[in-house]
């Protein structure tokens, strides 16, 4: 039987808020036993910033913010889904299911209280503690580590979109070195616009102890050997959790001096405005392309879903006017009173039978369509704006054209024989992905104007309309 302390703990839901203890320090050290409860934490200093000093912090976040990080981090598998977009939902389930299966919340009494804290923290649940095999625990550790590294660097510290290091790293001339299968390298990299620095990130998760952290630090040092000429931060995120303990993060870091980042050769030449890239899709080609790439898995899930599972919601077209959630990039729509008032105004001025008139009035008030989808069998609800959906659709089409010309990805190149070994097959697939990425970069200058052009109001809306029900002013997801 499961012991009684766990009996009444409900599963996590979107609206749950939790406190995440985070310890910043200069290099890996022993696990800070129980300090996540006993140390006096500081409030998070500012959104989208690296803290000025080391020590314990206690930011508060939402479960949906963590789920967003889980769906976006890691290897980009969308090239492998070009012919089977309906499998995108399966991949999304795979990314979030370990978190749903093995994490829960508990109430904590701390020695030092902090204004604004919720008193709720994440922990592993009774299933993990009493019934989970070691291999399943390892799977949670990997997914938890990657998710919390994404959450910490992006939602807390304002890093731009993260990319898997196997895609080649930030410097075109060094990409072959970053793609070397023999190199021991970190997981992710990104560009922090405010700091004007590359960040290299290694993630560890589960029952994290100092030997695993030092292993991750060596991987970061391997990345520094390649990126040595350019200034960058090294970030090691350890997401540690154990039965009847709080999930807490250690962020071990240092700064390596060097040259400034290389400016992009295409797209907007000006720095990206502050805030989420999704706030500036019309202002920056780099923001549009980066966001479309990051959201391609969601687009494939939407475009491959049954129409009966889709709906549209009217939201303010100006994303910057929406109320942000605590410490993050998502917008809790259930607390967005201005959007609700705008929708109510449209309902009051138009009839249910006049859908074209209702849609026109909504757009005149500053509302736009947002396509929403609930992944079958989960609580996971995803979506995107008409503008972003259009950009993703065009980018997906361009990717299909590239795949048709990429050896190893064409239909006639698909293997039917048994691979010689797992290692050989992984090398083959890595080479396939590398060639595909190179083609994408080579053709970016041609693709970018097409993606930008199709993201505007001039785009043929019938494509979007085919993927939605006619509930324009439904309940927000």
Collapse the DSSP code of 462 into the 3-class scheme (helix H, G, I; strand E, B; otherwise coil) and give the result: helix
In this prediction, residue 373 carries a pLDDT of 87
Nearest CA to 79 out of 395, 359, 303 is that of 395
Nearest CA to 380 out of 67, 157, 40 is that of 67
Contact yes or no for 207/241 (Cβ under 8 A): yes
Tokens standing for residue 131: 């019934």
pLDDT digits (tens, 9 = 90+) for 351-390: 777 777 777 777 777 777 788 888 887 888 888 888 889 9
Contact yes or no for 50/152 (Cβ under 8 A): no
Distance, in Å, from the CA atom of 360 to the CA atom of 68, rounded to the nearest integer, reads 31
Residue 291 CB contacts under 8 Å (≥ 6 apart), including other chains:
161, 277, 278, 281, 388, 391
Nearest CA to 207 out of 134, 151, 152 is that of 134
pLDDT digits (tens, 9 = 90+) for 265-281: 544 334 444 445 565 56
pLDDT digits (tens, 9 = 90+) for 162-204: 999 987 888 988 888 887 777 889 999 999 988 999 999 999 9
CA distances (Å), origin 254, targets 31, 88, 201, 221, 469: 18, 37, 11, 11, 50
């Amino acid at each position: 039987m499961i012991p009684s302390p766990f009996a009444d703990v409900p599963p996590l839901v979107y609206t749950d808020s939790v406190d995440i203890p985070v310890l910043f320090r200069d290099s890996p050290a022993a696990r800070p036993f129980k300090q996540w409860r006993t140390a006096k934490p500081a409030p998070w200093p500012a959104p989208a910033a690296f803290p000025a000093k080391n020590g314990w912090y206690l930011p508060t976040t939402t479960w949906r913010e963590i789920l967003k990080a889980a769906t976006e981090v890691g290897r980009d598998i969308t090239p492998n889904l070009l012919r089977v977009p309906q499998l995108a939902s399966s991949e999304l389930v795979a990314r979030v299911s370990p978190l749903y299966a093995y994490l829960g919340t508990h109430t904590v009494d701390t020695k030092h209280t902090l204004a604004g804290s919720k008193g709720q923290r994440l922990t592993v649940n009774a299933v993990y503690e009493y019934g989970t095999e070691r291999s399943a625990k390892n799977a949670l550790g990997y997914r938890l580590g990657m998710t919390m590294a994404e959450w910490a660097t992006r939602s807390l510290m304002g890093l731009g979109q993260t990319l898997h290091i196997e895609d080649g790293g930030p410097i075109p001339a060094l990409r072959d070195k970053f793609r070397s299968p023999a190199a021991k390298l970190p997981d992710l990299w990104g560009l922090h616009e405010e700091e004007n620095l590359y960040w290299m990130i290694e993630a560890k998760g589960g029952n994290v102890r100092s030997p695993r952290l030092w292993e991750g630090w060596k991987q970061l040092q391997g990345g520094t050997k390649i990126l040595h000429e350019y200034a960058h931060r090294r970030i090691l995120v350890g997401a540690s959790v154990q039965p009847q303990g709080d999930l807490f993060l250690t962020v071990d870091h240092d700064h390596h001096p060097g040259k400034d980042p290389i400016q992009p050769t295409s797209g907007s030449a000006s720095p990206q405005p502050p805030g989420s890239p999704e706030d500036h899709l019309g202002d920056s080609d780099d923001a549009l392309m980066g966001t479309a790439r990051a959201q391609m898995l969601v687009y494939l899930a939407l475009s491959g879903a049954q129409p009966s599972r889709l709906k549209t919601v009217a939201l303010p077209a100006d994303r910057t006017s929406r109320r942000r959630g605590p410490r993050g990039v998502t917008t809790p729509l259930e607390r967005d009173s201005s959007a609700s008032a705008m929708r109510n105004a449209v309902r009051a001025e138009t009839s249910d039978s006049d859908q074209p008139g209702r849609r026109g009035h909504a757009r005149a008030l500053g509302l736009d369509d947002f396509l929403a989808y609930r992944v079958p069998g989960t609580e996971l609800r995803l979506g995107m704006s008409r503008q972003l959906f259009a950009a993703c659709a065009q980018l997906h089409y361009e990717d299909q054209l590239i795949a048709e010309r990429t050896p190893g990805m064409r239909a006639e190149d698909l293997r039917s024989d048994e691979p010689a070994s797992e290692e050989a097959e992984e090398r083959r697939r890595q080479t396939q992905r590398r060639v595909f990425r190179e083609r994408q970069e080579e053709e970016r200058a041609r693709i970018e104007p097409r993606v930008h052009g199709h993201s505007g109001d001039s785009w043929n809306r019938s494509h979007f309309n085919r993927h939605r029900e006619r509930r324009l002013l439904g309940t927000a997801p």
